[in-house]
Amino acid sequence: MTREKPKIAFYWCASCGGCEEAVVDVAEQILDVVAAADIVFWPVALDFKRSDVEQMPDGSILATFLNGAIRTSEQEEMAGLLRRKSKYLVAFGSCSHLGGIPGLANFFTRESILQAVYFDAPTTENPDRVMPGLPLNDRHGELTLPYFSDRVRSLDQVVEVDYYVPGCPPQPKIVTRAVLTLLGEHPPTKGSVLAPDEALCTECPRKDSKPDKIALKAFRRPQEIQIDETQCLLAQGLLCLGPATRAGCEARCVEGNMPCTGCCGAPGRVREQGAKALSAIASLIDSQDESEIDQILATIPDPAGTFYRYSLPASLIHNKRGV
Amino acid sequence: MPDAHNPDTPPRIGVYVCHCGTNIAATIDVPALAEYAAGLPDVVVAREYKYMCSDPGQELIRQDIREHNLTRIVVASCSPLMHEPTFRGALVRAGINAFFLQMVNIREHVSWVHTNKEEATAKAKDLVRAAVRRVRLHKPLEKRRVEIKPEVLVVGGGIAGIHAALTIANSGKHVYLVERQPTIGGHMALFDKTFPTLDCAACILTPKMTAVGSHPNITLWTYAEVAAVEGYVGNYKVKVRHKPRYIVEDLCIGCQECVEACVYKEGRWADEFNLGLSKRKPIYLPFPQAVPQKVLIDPEACIEFKSHKCKKTCVEACGERKAIDFKQEASTEEIDVGSIIVSTGFKTFAAHRNACYGYGVYPNVYTSLEVERLVNASGPTSGEIVLRDGTTPKMVGIIHCVGSRDHNTNRWCSKVCCMYSLKLAHLIRERTGAEVYNFYIDMRTPGKGYEEFYDRLLDEGVHFIRGRVAEVADWPIHPSEEGKLVIRAEDTLAGFVRRIPVDMVVLSVGLEPQSDARDVRRLFNISCSEEGWFLERHPKLAPVSTFTDGVFIAGACQGPKDIPDSVAQAGAAAAEAMALADAKYVELEPYTAHVIEDACSGCKTCLTICPYTAIAFVEETKKARVNEVLCKGCGTCAATCPSGSIEQNLFEDQEIFEEVEGLLAYA
């Protein structure tokens, strides 16, 4: 009789689906995973139900890869359920890891979001002024929608998390390495981010082109300039967050001639990615004059959304005051 | 005893709250604070005492460390600037690392700035709680020693620089004295007499100048400037740029036969030393007592430089000595020194800036410095006080505070003008018998023998009018004013406006920072006040030190000063430099930053933000490296490093977060 294969699961919460795509992107390597493990739960691809998971013994899943941030009561329940059933719970992708792009909703109150979505959006037609949250009685009994909570949270703000796989979405190499590591005999230290603990500049193909001193009179957006494909993007005035972002993606965006936006989060020694990136970028401003500095800073249209694009819920500031 | 240096040992903390007499105890409930501290996690003992910094206070800490096996100490008292070294010493004497200490400033930050005792006590509790949280994470650190080179660089060869150089050289240490002018001597060399004793300035200065020139321990470089300074206390590398004087200094013996022989038989160019009151030749000695006794050529004036067609009678006269070199170029020399004394002096206020006084418009309006040359026995008139037309003035007005105590120009008092105006009044009256009027705002004559000198002048019949002069003009409204300069001023003691017709006006110009003071400040990495005077580290406790270790200041570059004060300060700066050299090494504070090499991504963000250029990019490893000797621990790089790869001792992120969390935690 063959030894039982370890069980793994994939789940999604507040996410765009890109992380599911990333799992599929692993392509042929997924076969190695399949050969090594049984996938017991993967709503996007396999027809297992929540009740199937509920019936599994606690701790019987070796590892659950959960992507997406936590916003609704249903997501919180599923996170709790999978936590109980899994030996390792892995936060997969930026949203689960740090709160991600959905986390930028923490700059707005719950009420203003519902108002915008159900009433104010130009594409919304809602003459009956229907709002979520009203119980509905039909032949199955009373039905309710999951509760839309006040704030977006990262997975580890809801349940204990064992490991993190960073990226938006995580790159195939990182995913494969992470899965095989967890299936291997020497699991990494609990709480580890399963990617190199250094900044992206380390693996950036343009590293050598970065000058010792960068002095900027304005920041540029990619659509505003002809980007030199060989030169450091920061030196060209583009807001590349590579210096403040964890490596591991092999600088895919830079390879595509676009600046790093910081999706892998900060290296492990940094508590606050946004603040760190901000202070590093601020040091490049070439002026001693306050009003000129204001002008230069005005060339960054959305500083909060730029520096905290992926990390707002997990950051020290969490949310806008009052949210 | 638990090993305080073992990170796994649970911390045993002692908290000591100081009353500071009533400084703290009057505003903070000290017993309540100590009692509160005793209940905080990991606190083994908490005590209060009248004066923690006193010997019994320190002994309390030492005894507790031994008896209770304390591994971390929190002292809640005054600013760490005041007593951190004291308490660190107490820890060391009790056998634990000096850096296991955290001070809480409940005096300057709490008792001195608050009045509500209850709220002040609550704030003190918050601060103590933060310190207790933080001190647990303190790591043992060691101070590093750096060797000190005994050589000293003195920049500026006025009386302050001369005195400092001689003092240090006499102690057996080598001094480099760099002066930008072709001779040393500075402003003092321009004077005839010095107040209040009326000593002959030359008689007291020139022997010192000669001593500098011939001292075996002094390398004198005139007509040279410091071009670059690198390094740190004890180990400065200084580049000195020699301007070409077109004379080989080693070969020139100062005979001046070349000056005699110049194709120009008379001087035609304004003589800088006499402030343009006389003319000099293209080849010249700045003044007869110049040190070094080496001539120089003004390439703007010399025919050979302009047309290459001069007969070069100077070269002929020099003959076998071959000291003249028209091809000479600027050269740069690098020296290593342990400390630097900056004594770059001052400039006088440019009198034409105050248009009301007619300087540059009326030929008989002089600055005080010009009059110094006129009264000087070796000056352009051999000490005779005559106007530009050769006549002797019968009425002279001396206007005080020109470019001083004036909101339109300089707000400060230049300190020396009252006294030198009195001196000039005395000399003018003595030499010419003229009626001399002093126009003053306040007479400021504090100093040994100064007030007595003022009294003497009052007896000599010099007139004093208290009031700021409104204008100097040549418009007569009375026959007695015909052909005279009329000084119009409100006599504030008599209570009316006076018009005094005079033949000569002397403007007592104030002292200003050198025009390039800000460049010099940057060169030596020292600070200056808003006005441009170099800033001492502490006006009372470190008056000749700067915020850069091993760089000292002396003389009027620090602020207006007379000769005795400049010399005293120069002596103090020399003593500091010698003390540093004799200490052989300095101890550097260990709160420096360092790069975690494995983590650094080589993004170079830190390179340019370091104000002390202490960070270099190592090409081989493609990573940054902090020179911990240059690092001042300002923390800028640690805050900026985007990947968190720079850590600063005693200010690690975790220590700061603990402190913040301790502060914010609800009591």
Chain B 273-332, CB below 8 Å of chain A: which residues?
Answer: none
Q: How many CA atoms lie within 13 A of B305 on its CB side?
A: 16
Q: Are strands B339-342 and B152-155 parallel, antiparallel or unpaired?
A: parallel
Instruction: Give residue B10's pLDDT.
Output: 84
Place of tokens 């809480």: B104
Looking at the complex, does the CB of residue A207 fall below 8 Å from at least one CB of chain B? Answer: yes
Q: Tell me if domain B144-243+330-345+517-588 and domain B348-512 are identical in fold.
A: yes
What whole-number distance in Å separates Cα of residue B472 and Cα of residue A59? 100
Which tokens go with A188? 């990494």
Closest residue by Cα to residue A162 from A196, A194, A195, A186: A194
Check pLDDT > 50 for residue A129. Answer: yes
B593-648 fold? Alpha-Beta Plaits (3.30.70)
> Can you tell me whether residue A138 is helix, strand or coil?
strand
Which tokens go with B240? 């000195």
Looking at the complex, does the CB of residue A197 fall below 8 Å from at least one CB of chain B? Answer: yes
Cβ contact B642–A210 (<8 Å): no
User: What pTM was estimated for this model as a whole?
Assistant: 0.70
Cβ contact B643–A266 (<8 Å): yes
Cβ contact B642–A279 (<8 Å): yes
Q: What is the mean pLDDT of each run of 10 residues along chain B (667 residues)?
A: 63 97 96 97 97 96 96 96 93 96 97 97 97 96 92 98 98 98 97 95 95 97 96 93 96 95 95 94 95 96 93 94 96 97 98 96 97 93 93 97 96 97 97 97 96 96 96 94 96 95 98 96 93 93 92 98 98 97 90 94 93 90 91 92 96 95 83
Chain B partners of A284 at a C-beta cutoff of 8 Å?
605
Across the interface, which of B600, B607, B622 has its CB nearest the CB of A213? B607
Q: How many CA atoms lie within 13 A of B111 on its CB side?
A: 23
Cβ contact A279–B639 (<8 Å): yes
Across the interface, which of A214, A269, A283 has its CB nearest the CB of B644? A269
Cβ contact B644–A280 (<8 Å): no
The model's pLDDT over A223-238, given as tens digits with 9 standing for 90+, comes to 999 999 999 999 999 9
Under DSSP, the state recorded for B46 is: E
Cβ contact A269–B645 (<8 Å): yes
> Can you tell me whether residue B473 is helix, strand or coil?
strand
Chain A partners of B601 at a C-beta cutoff of 8 Å?
198-202, 243, 247
Place of tokens 């709503």: A43
Q: Are A267 and B643 in contact (CB under 8 A)?
A: yes
Looking at the complex, does the CB of residue A264 fall below 8 Å from at least one CB of chain B? Answer: no
Looking at the complex, does the CB of residue A267 fall below 8 Å from at least one CB of chain B? Answer: yes
* Domain boundaries, given as residue ranges, for chain B: 13-143, 144-243+330-345+517-588, 257-321, 348-512, 593-648
Cβ contact A247–B599 (<8 Å): no
* Domain boundaries, given as residue ranges, for chain A: 7-101+151-183, 111-149, 200-307
Instruction: Give residue B629's pLDDT.
Output: 80
CA A131, distance to chain mean position in Å, is 28
> Can you tell me whether residue B109 is helix, strand or coil?
helix
Cβ contact A210–B603 (<8 Å): yes
What whole-number distance in Å separates Cα of residue B635 and Cα of residue B375? 57
CATH architecture label of B144-243+330-345+517-588: 3-Layer(bba) Sandwich (3.50)
Q: Which CATH class is domain B348-512?
A: alpha beta
Looking at the complex, does the CB of residue A274 fall below 8 Å from at least one CB of chain B? Answer: no
Which tokens go with B582? 């004799």
Cβ contact A271–B653 (<8 Å): yes
* CB under 8 A, 24+ apart: contacts of B627-635: B628/B144, B628/B588, B628/B592, B628/B593, B628/B594, B629/B144, B629/B146, B629/B232, B629/B235, B629/B588, B630/B231, B630/B232, B631/B592, B631/B593, B632/B592, B633/B589, B633/B591, B633/B592, B633/B593, B635/B593
Render B564-606 in DSSP notation, one character per residue: HHHHHHHHHHHHHHHHHHHH-EEEEPS--EEE-TTT-----HH
Residue of A nearest to B657 (CA): A271
Instruction: Give residue B1's pLDDT.
Output: 47
Chain B 635-664, CB below 8 Å of chain A: which residues?
Answer: 639-645, 653, 657
Across the interface, which of B617, B622, B644 has its CB nearest the CB of A270? B644
Distance from first CA to last CA of chain A, Å, rounded?
57
B13-143 fold? Rossmann fold (3.40.50)
Q: Are strands A70-72 and A148-153 parallel, antiparallel or unpaired?
A: antiparallel
What whole-number distance in Å separates Cα of residue B26 and Cα of residue B17? 13
> Can you tell me whether residue A86 is helix, strand or coil?
strand
Given phi > 0 = left and psi -120 to 50 = alpha, else beta, which region is A190?
Answer: beta
Gyration radius (Cα) of chain B, Å: 32
For residue B261, give the amino acid letter: A
Given phi > 0 = left and psi -120 to 50 = alpha, else beta, which region is B613?
Answer: left
Cβ contact B642–A199 (<8 Å): yes
Looking at the complex, does the CB of residue A83 fall below 8 Å from at least one CB of chain B? Answer: no
What whole-number distance in Å separates Cα of residue B221 and Cα of residue B217? 13
- Tell me how far CA of residue B652 lies from CA of A182, B371, B600, B638, B656, in angstroms: 32, 62, 16, 9, 6
For residue B506, give the amino acid letter: V
Under DSSP, the state recorded for B144 is: E
Instruction: Give residue B230's pLDDT.
Output: 87
* CB under 8 A, 24+ apart: contacts of B277-282: B277/B370, B277/B373, B277/B374, B277/B379, B277/B380, B277/B381, B278/B380
Instruction: Give residue A1's pLDDT.
Output: 42
Looking at the complex, does the CB of residue A285 fall below 8 Å from at least one CB of chain B? Answer: no
Q: Are B381 and B520 in contact (CB under 8 A)?
A: no
Average of per-residue pLDDT across A80-98? 97
What whole-number distance in Å separates Cα of residue B606 and Cα of residue B604? 5
Q: Are strands B346-348 and B511-513 parallel, antiparallel or unpaired?
A: antiparallel
Cβ contact B622–A207 (<8 Å): yes
A7-101+151-183 fold? Rossmann fold (3.40.50)
Reading across the β-sheet that carries B218-221, which strands appear in turn? Answer: B218-221, B175-178, B152-155, B339-342, B551-553
Looking at the complex, does the CB of residue A195 fall below 8 Å from at least one CB of chain B? Answer: no
What whole-number distance in Å separates Cα of residue B314 and Cα of residue B323? 10
Identify the helix (H) or strand (E) that includes residue A116: none
ipTM: 0.90
Which tokens go with A117? 């979505």
Mutate: best of B522, B601, B647, B656, partner A, most A CBs <10 A: B601
